[in-house]
Amino acid sequence: MEVAAPLLCLAAAVLVWGVLWVWGSWERMTRPEQAGLPGGGSRTLLVTAHPDDEAMFFAPTILGLARLRHQLFLLCFSAGNYYNQGEIRKKELLQSCDVLGIPPSNVMLIENRDFPDDPDVRWDPDRAADVLLQHVEANGIKLVVTFDEGGVSGHSNHVALNAAVRTLQAEGKLPKGCSVLTLQSVNLLRKYLCLLDLPCSLLLARDALFVLTQREAAQAQRAMSCHRSQLLWFRRLYMLFSRYMRINSLNFL
């Protein structure tokens, strides 16, 4: 009993410290400033492969950058016509962006045979880089946000977009002052831990971390719900359990 009491006190102290540390980190992540990111009013371009990527993977980043008062643009490289639903999905994309606060005038969707919605087709990264650069220059973009080399889900179209931004950066073609953030892919276990992944996300290295408040999480759910043609049973489970609906960890290239 004499030995157990100090151990219990130590365990309680460690638990309290852990709770306070996580709470303090949460507070920092929900404040409207994060080190290294462009300041308020900056023009940011989110680059995705398909309608629903913006809500399924990037909602915390979009809403987090909205806290920073960024002016957000979306460049979607396909209409998501794999199952001949392209026309429906274009309308769903605009509805989702409206929920997330991206106006229709800032949404650009590419319909080009060079970029088919097909996981078995690897898009030409040089061609994608050319298209991306045109939009960066035309809109005065200061921050580009897209997938990392894992593409979150491993989809070849996602991976191609990462290859495109890497090509631009390697060749020094991005405008001066334009930086690139990529969304971290995580293993399957972490992917479906939702907010339980927060301590791990806080501990592991990253350049930016966005965590949604309860109100923002409901907003992200509404955005994903706009993609009605895609709401199969497994995507409804994804909406409930995926960390990407609540947490985004990103790194600069």
Which structure tokens are listed for 142? 């200061």
Determine the average pLDDT of the residues in 103-128.
Answer: 95
Helix (H) / strand (E) containing 113: none
- Helices 59-67 and 214-225 cross at an angle (nearest 10°) of 130
pLDDT at 46: 98
Q: How many other CB atoms are there within 10 angstroms of residue 189's CB atom?
A: 9
Placement of tokens 């274009």 in the chain: 90
129-154 pLDDT per residue, tens: 999 999 999 999 999 999 999 999 99
pTM of the model: 0.86
- The alpha-helical segments, DSSP class H, found in 3-150 are 4-30, 53-56, 59-67, 86-100, 125-138
Question: Which of 15-29, 77-91, 187-201 is least confident?
Answer: 15-29
* Structural domain boundaries in the chain: 39-252
- Just give the CATH number of 39-252: 3.40.50.10320
Work out the percent of the chain whose per-residue pLDDT is above 70.
86
